């Protein structure tokens, strides 16, 4: 039997079922690395698992690809297959087509995996280009690259540090994939923690449409709104988590009114302005003339529609968010 015929017999493909592979997620426990960050499924994992399902070695797959390319003595060799599987190199369109033929799967599926891997790697590299100061730089960059690559698990478990949200917002300002992902998590995140972290990040971007989406979510998503206000009072007044959740400005002392007044004009974070407006509205209800004067003054400088709405409600003594 000719070598190519032996390599391409029907029996050699019998153990590979394209639908079962992709629909059941039968990816090996060994995960790929995108831009040096583990945890993301990449095309290298797919190639390796399909090859192993056919009981081929890397050398045998390389030989088959050489035959299919019409160059039995040429490339790729075993080392090239190894580089594909370890994620060091992403195969181009030519080799993706031959890999699909050799591995018995639709070309479109492998092309989709290759495209996704390139996007993940590009986003991870963009994340490492974001300026992150301070002693936690390495830790934050690792988190940033993971989230930018599409891993939502960390943001679903804990509240993102403030400096992390700022760095993520800077990335979203320049990376369309990160921006789309954050908007999707804001609207459809599986946990309130994930939605809240997306909300916090979008508030810190420099794009008015993203800021407005985050502001609108404050009105419809009670869980994320309460968490945002709790984080605000904890940062503003140095409160414990339990005390922050119970904070009210109805009888706030002058020092707290002044602090809220400063945050009412925060140029970098509209969420601080929104929360300050809500709490100053409580103080107005409690009879504070200083709080009323601060809100009236903010009407002349505030540009956000949702923040203007919060200011107006506060001046009218309405507290729909309490």
Query: Residue 178: what pLDDT?
Result: 83
Query: Residue 153: what pLDDT?
Result: 72
Query: Residue 186: what pLDDT?
Result: 94
Residue bearing the bigger pLDDT, 283 or 207: 283
Tokens of 112: 């989709």
Residue with tokens 């370890």: 86
Residues 6 or more apart whose CB falls under 8 angstroms from that of 225 comprise 217, 218, 219, 321
Query: Residue 141: what pLDDT?
Result: 65
User: For the chain, how big is the Rg over CA atoms in Å?
Assistant: 27
What pLDDT, in 10s, does the model give residues 27-55? Answer: 443 333 333 333 444 788 899 999 999 99
Tokens of 160: 């993102």
Residues 271/228, Cβ–Cβ less than 8 Å: yes
What pLDDT, in 10s, does the model give residues 263-313? Answer: 999 988 899 999 999 999 999 999 999 999 999 999 999 988 889 999 999
What pLDDT, in 10s, does the model give residues 125-179? Answer: 554 455 555 556 666 666 676 676 677 777 887 787 777 788 888 888 888 888 8
Query: Residue 30: what pLDDT?
Result: 38
What pLDDT, in 10s, does the model give residues 223-257? Answer: 999 999 999 999 999 999 999 999 999 999 999 99
Q: How far apart are CA 265 and CA 276, in angstroms?
A: 9
11 falls in which pLDDT band (50, 70, 90)?
Answer: very low
DSSP string, 77-90: -HHHHHHHHHTSS-
Average pLDDT of 5-15? 35
Query: Residue 1: what pLDDT?
Result: 36
Query: Residue 294: what pLDDT?
Result: 97
Helix, strand, coil % in the chain, rounded to nearest 5: 65, 0, 30
- Where are the chain's structural domains? 3-126, 131-223, 248-322
Identify the sign of the CA torsion 223, 227, 259, 134.
negative
Query: Residue 221: what pLDDT?
Result: 92
Query: Residue 291: what pLDDT?
Result: 97
The pTM for the full model equals 0.58
Query: Residue 256: what pLDDT?
Result: 97
Residue 40 β-bridge partners: 32
Residues 177/123, Cβ–Cβ less than 8 Å: yes
State the fold for domain 3-126.
434 Repressor (Amino-terminal Domain) (1.10.260)
104 falls in which pLDDT band (50, 70, 90)?
Answer: very high
What pLDDT, in 10s, does the model give residues 69-85? Answer: 887 776 678 888 988 88
Residue with tokens 């993203």: 210
């Amino acid at each position: 039997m000719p070598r190519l015929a032996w390599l391409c017999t029907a029996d050699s493909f019998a153990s590979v079922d394209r639908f079962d592979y992709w629909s059941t997620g039968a990816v090996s426990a060994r995960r790929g690395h995108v831009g040096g960050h583990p945890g993301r499924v990449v095309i290298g994992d797919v190639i390796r698992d399909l090859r192993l399902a056919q009981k081929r070695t890397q050398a045998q797959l390389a030989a088959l690809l050489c035959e299919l390319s019409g160059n039995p003595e040429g490339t790729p060799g075993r080392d090239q297959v190894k580089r594909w599987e370890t994620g060091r190199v992403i195969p181009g369109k030519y080799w993706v087509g031959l890999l699909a033929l050799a591995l018995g799967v639709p070309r479109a599926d492998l092309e989709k995996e290759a495209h996704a891997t390139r996007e993940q790697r590009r986003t991870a590299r963009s994340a490492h280009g974001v300026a992150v100061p301070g002693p936690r730089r390495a830790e934050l960059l690792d988190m940033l690259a993971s989230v930018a690559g599409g891993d939502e698990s960390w943001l679903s478990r804990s509240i993102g540090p403030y400096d992390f949200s700022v760095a993520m917002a800077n990335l979203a300002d320049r990376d369309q994939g990160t921006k789309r992902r954050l908007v999707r998590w804001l609207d459809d995140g599986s946990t309130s923690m994930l939605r809240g972290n997306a909300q916090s990040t979008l508030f810190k971007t420099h794009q008015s449409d993203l800021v407005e989406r985050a502001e609108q979510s404050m009105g419809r998503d009670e869980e994320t709104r309460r968490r945002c206000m709790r984080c605000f009072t904890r940062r503003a007044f140095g409160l414990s988590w339990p005390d922050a959740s119970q904070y009210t400005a109805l009888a706030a002392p002058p020092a707290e009114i002044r602090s809220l007044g400063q945050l009412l004009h925060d140029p970098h974070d509209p969420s601080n302005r929104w929360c300050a407006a809500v709490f100053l509205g409580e103080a107005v209800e409690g009879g504070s003339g200083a709080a009323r004067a601060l809100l009236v003054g903010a009407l002349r400088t505030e540009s956000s529609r949702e923040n203007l709405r919060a200011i107006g409600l506060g001046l009218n003594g309405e507290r729909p968010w309490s």
